[in-house]
Chain A
Amino acid sequence: MNTVMHHPLHCVHHGSCNGGLYSRPFIESFEETPMLVAVLTYMGYGILTIFGYLRDFLRARKIEKCHIAREREEQKDFVPLYQDFENFYTRNLYMRIRDNWNRPICSVPADKVDLVERVSYDYNWTFSHTGRVVKDVINMGSYNYLGFSENKGSCADAVAEVTLKYGAGVGSTRQEMGNLDGHEELEKLVARFLGVESAMAFGMGFATNSMNIPALAGKGCLILSDELNHASLVLGARLSGSTIRVFKHNNMQSLEKLLRDAIVHGQPRTHRPWKKILILVEGIYSMEGSIIRLPEVIALKKKYKAYLYLDEAHSIGALGGRGRGVVDYFGLDPTDVDIMMGTFTKSFGAAGGYIGGKKELIDYLRSHSHSAVYATSMSPPVVEQIITSMKCIMGEDGTTIGKSHRIQQLAENTVYFRRRLREMGFIIYGNNDSPVVPLMVYMPAKIGAFGREMLKRNIGVVVVGFPATPIIESRARFCVSAAHTKEMLDQALSAISEVGDLLQLKYSRHRILPTLDRPFDETTYEECED
């Protein structure tokens, strides 16, 4: 029984006991855009477009100074490299608020970070560094969920040793002379961490998807991909040459309909049966903050004999009582997921990606993955960072810092942060347990204003607009970290509230009464033994 409450103003899904599939309440909310806000947002974009045309006209007539880089004189009669309209959005909308992105930092990206101060004297066309540093900005933008991004401590010491012994580079591919003993140790550890038979590590998370999906699916296969999948998954699916069909975000009815249609009708026109069906989903969707409905997806996958590819880029380490990701969060069996993919960038403070699964799958990837044959293997210090941080999470380094200080702290911080933001009256998307918190901003001018006002109050936030999100649903995205203390979160929250009042961002019509601060409730995570 899946109860869905449809309120005219918002939609809250309570997926409790869907035939016993969910062992815990699944609460997510995506409040609808208020009508007035939508109208004003469209108006805002309309005004910006008109001004954009005006400025382009002035630039063409040389009335306004043109800062845009130009083609060489000798190549003026070549076919133009860019169409004018392709860059319209970049020139006229993105340029105005460009100072909110690519902010250079000069310290370790931990709970607090030092930013390089930069100014622009020509409205963001060029930046110059003043030479000063903005110190101790609270970092709500880096993907540092478990706080392993540190330059001191046992992880850093181990990495320092390895750097002096092995150096920084490798100089060869895995299949040639680049397979170090560290790589083999890492892969065994990852397999043990995930609870699967075998695993393989790659040097870049993006490339893990774009190079391995083509090895797994080909012509005659069907890929069912979620609407909001990451660019790497989309690129991998395209490069594979399979047919791609898209189902609505996290919508199990849409997925089931596609599966049924695919099996019953077969390939288009020839009606031959599909060779295999691969479902591509992510653990946590970083733009929405939603968690995949994994129990239902696995039930569907088993019923229709499809294969499941789970991309846990944001959820590994960040969800679950033991930090083992979304499978652990729902209390499911890791062998049910055919291909478990993830990255080491977010929760382990390193770089790279991995794929875990059955031994046949990993053997096949060792011999047929593009990365193993053509791409340089992972750098030894990075490998060591992953090994030490993973051992810390598993508790094998002899301490309980991993479990108690990091995983528990992250869960507490997430629940607290989300609750306070909702109480203040902001529209927050996503699941209650996801450490990625999108806060809706909607209007184009407020995107820039929010980023700048928060920086004035010494909080670094990430704002996202078109084309990463739909055009009227621009948002600010916070990444809660285990390294944040309650004081830092309170400081950030008061600044957010102040800016929210200043910019009138508290759109939510669904007011929650503020509850008293109660101590963290242990029953949020089921007791499980390691």
Chain B
Amino acid sequence: MIQTTKMASGQQWVLVEMVQAFYEAPAYHLILEGILILWIIRLLFSKTYKLQERSDLTEKEKEELIEEWQPEPLVPAVSNDHPSLNYDVVTGPPSHKITVNGKECINFASFNFLGLLDNERVKQKALASLKKYGVGTCGPRGFYGTFDVHLELEERLAKFMKTEEAIIYSYGFATIASAIPAYSKRGDIVFVDEAACFSIQKGLQASRSFIKYFKHNDMEDLERLLKEQELEDQKNPRKARVTRRFIVVEGLYMNTSDICPLPELVKLKYKYKVRIFLEESMSFGVLGEHGRGVTEHFGVSIDDIDLISANMENAVASIGGFCCGRSFVIDHQRLSGQGYCFSASLPPMLASAAIEALNIMEEDPEIFTILREKCKHAHKALQDIPGLKVVGEAFAPALHLQLEHSTGSRESDVRTLRSIIDYCLDRQIALTQARYLDKEERFLPPPSIRVVVTVEQTEEEIEKATSCIREAALARLE
């Protein structure tokens, strides 16, 4: 009895307190509470609606829809004479003398810049590695797929490029395409040159960042974009403090064969606080006194570049690719580079071949000078061909020959160039067209013939090739 009365008085006491608080509360507080209560009542009684409008179909209607639906064919039909369908078949090794479609020709088409595809020492090292390790690695790097050869190759590459660390990938295309998304995520900003190659474009697509293209090699355009971004940052400094910025350029561009202005880029880097990723597939083993690429060519300190990526399929004449730079940057890819963590490692015999190629490059730095001389010679010889113009730097080993006057339709241009190549193949000069995916490229380069200069070609052979191309142009371009 006593307890209940105590409780009742307790309750009453609370009620008195409430009424007192009600009188003492400021007016705005009461009005606010009143509005909230009215809003809640409104919400409770309003009609509910579903987020997605789902019309209520009967089972029979659903079955009919399922019956009626016809998908497109899995792939559109490809006509038999599609230019990309019929490959040229190479029988035998793709070295200096190459047998294409049954004809023995001099090779002006493979990226064999230093002539190492056919080198006996490289082959013997690969053979020795095969006898020790077999062919495949049967696992990714994390699960017993790391061989001592891989570690040795990474050390040697880091030493060669004078960086702290290097990381190797088993596929050249996947190197830069896995490196970019490891650092640049959603919300970050990447400034890319328009002439960037396809693997860079795929890496950018996978990263989901904001991509801003600047005109090819145009530093003023890049500076304009950077200034615009600076203005944006001032409007929202909190966001700017966590948005990473990158510039992605190539040393020697594959699509246009010219060189990027690296010193100006480094100046812009420190002025606007952007990191530089440099893709050196075409310039590694070509430019620079010792073949270290475009940084050595310009005398830029290698620490100024955050990441250098290159594939080992051109000058190094093996398979795969590598990234090098400071440990702070490179070590991150060991856990977040998709092509590194989720893919089997490079077969050890190919890694041994790459190590031997590096040995040859270190022993004999003269070959780079010889290569550049031959490139200049070829570049000069290819000038003044009626109807074709040479695109590319004088010291670039992979040049493009484009039509001076396009017919207007890409298909007929491609056919014309193909006829020139066929003419040359008949006269034992192996050339090829530069291939692109027409619908997938962002800035599709014009059709062109790829002419590759290698260290193994003699002056006579280069002369022969250029006169052959001249004849072909005269014959097929009227």
B-contacting residues of A (Cβ < 8 Å)?
Answer: 69-72, 74-75, 77-83, 90, 94, 101-110, 113, 116, 139, 141-144, 148-151, 155-156, 159-160, 163-181, 184, 203-207, 211, 216, 230-232, 235, 238-239, 260, 263-265, 273-277, 304-307, 338-339, 343-346, 348-351, 360-361, 363-368, 370-376, 379-382, 385, 460, 462
Contact = CB atoms under 8 A, between A and B. Distances in A.
B206 interface: yes
Interface in B139-193: 139, 141-148, 150-151, 170-174, 183
A255 to B, nearest CB: 14
Given A169-B319, A307-B71, A385-B136, A371 B338 contact: no
Given A109-B137, A168-B349, A363-B85, A103 B146 contact: yes
Given A172-B109, A176-B109, A204-B171, A151 B130 contact: yes
Given A170-B319, A205-B344, A305-B69, 8 more contacts: A71-B328, A81-B332, A160-B130, A167-B122, A349-B138, A351-B346, A360-B75, A370-B198
Nearest to B118: A167
Contact of B84 (A142, A307, A373): A373
A84 B305 CA distance: 23
B444 interface: no
Interface stretch (B40-48, B387-395, B430-438): B430-438
A81 B135 contact: no
B143 A361 contact: no
B76 interface: yes
A30 to B, nearest CB: 22
Contact of B85 (A103, A176, A366): A366
A263 B65 contact: yes
B327 interface: yes
B293 interface: no
The 10 closest A-B pairs by CB, nearest first: A171-B110, A364-B75, A204-B171, A206-B343, A367-B84, A168-B353, A177-B109, A69-B328, A179-B87, A142-B138
B419 interface: no
B430 to A, nearest CB: 7
Contacts of B95: 167
Given A167-B117, A181-B91, A338-B74, A109 B199 contact: no
Given A265-B54, A361-B75, A141 B314 contact: no
B90 interface: yes
9 contacts: A71-B328, A109-B138, A143-B344, A171-B314, A172-B111, A232-B343, A360-B78, A368-B84, A368-B437
B24 to A, nearest CB: 45
Interface residues of B, number: 119
Contacts of A462: 143-144
Interface string B256-291: 000000000000001001010000000000000000
Nearest to A275: B72
B424 to A, nearest CB: 13
Nearest to A171: B110
Contacts of A156: 130-131, 134-135
B8 interface: no
A172 B131 contact: no
A264 B64 CA distance: 9
Given A181-B90, A375-B172, A376-B313, A105 B110 contact: no
A169 B136 contact: no
A361 B353 CA distance: 35
B180 to A, nearest CB: 13
B202 A79 contact: no
B49 to A, nearest CB: 16
A361 B74 contact: yes
B170 A351 contact: yes
Nearest to B84: A367
A268 to B, nearest CB: 8
Contacts of A106: 147-148
Contact of A178 (B94, B116, B275, B303): B94
A105 B69 contact: no
A382 B339 contact: no
B77 interface: yes
B339 A206 contact: yes
Nearest to B74: A307
A367 B199 contact: no
A179 B75 contact: no
Interface in B79-116: 82, 84-85, 87-95, 98, 100, 107, 109-112, 116
A276 B74 contact: yes
Contacts of B316: 169
B173 A375 contact: yes
B62 A260 contact: yes
Contact of B132 (A104, A151, A306): A151
Contact of B172 (A72, A151, A177, A376): A376
Given A104-B148, A109-B138, A82 B332 contact: yes
B62 A264 contact: yes
Nearest to A368: B437
A328 B434 CA distance: 41
B66 interface: yes
B473 interface: no
Contacts of A344: 136
A144 B318 CA distance: 24
A462 B141 CA distance: 12
Contacts of A174: 87
A171 B89 contact: no
Contacts of B54: 265
Given A169-B318, A373-B436, A81 B173 contact: no
A350 B84 contact: no
Interface stretch (B218-226, B241-249, B408-416): B241-249
A167 B342 CA distance: 28
A108 B245 CA distance: 43
A389 B303 CA distance: 46
Given A276-B71, A345-B136, A370-B440, A203 B171 contact: yes
B144 A139 contact: yes
B133 interface: yes
Contact of A351 (B87, B131, B137, B244): B137
Contact of B318 (A168, A264, A367): A168
B335 A360 contact: no
A377 to B, nearest CB: 9
Nearest to A144: B138
B110 A367 contact: no
A116 B148 contact: yes
Contact of B303 (A72, A180, A232): A72
B138 A345 contact: yes
A460 B144 contact: yes
Given A72-B326, A360-B78, A142 B241 contact: no
A508 B209 CA distance: 46
B171 A207 contact: yes
Interface in B382-433: 430, 432-433
Contacts of B143: 101, 141-142, 462
